[in-house]
Copies of this chain bind each other. A is one copy, B any other.
Amino acid sequence: MTAARILAEITFNAAGLVPAIAQQHDTGEVLMMAWMNRDSIAETLETGRVCYWSRSRAALWRKGETSGHLQALVEMRLDCDGDTLLLLVDQTGPACHTNRRNCFYRAVRDGDLVTIAKPEA
């Protein structure tokens, strides 16, 4: 698959990045949000395994490469403005580096932040 025609429709920010939301394809659970650049998008489309761009490491971030917590790409979607991606994925193990299934485990309840999920065993 050539990624060129897909990349042409994406609006990257000044840093050459676009935010990507990862959603578990069958349950609808929003797992995480990370950033992608042209290379990581092209690699993801080619391999079917999600690869982000790590802003902190300034390097390609092949999700699960060290942890084994891979994200298999089911479908990539693009929003109306072309500046946000939605990745429907099949997540192996926890998506979050805290070992939780997803990264959004803190909820605002009664004016405070409450932790609503535990790390997996």
Contacts and interface: CB of A to CB of B under 8 A. Distances in A.
Given A103-B84, A113-B6, A108 B76 contact: yes
Interface in A64-86: 75-81, 84, 86
The 4 A-B residue pairs with the shortest CB-CB distance in the complex, in nearest-first order: A28-B28, A79-B103, A77-B104, A1-B111
Nearest to A113: B9
Copy tally for this chain in the complex stands at 2
B108 A80 contact: no
A120 interface: no
Nearest to A35: B19
A39 interface: no
Contacts of A21: 21, 30, 33
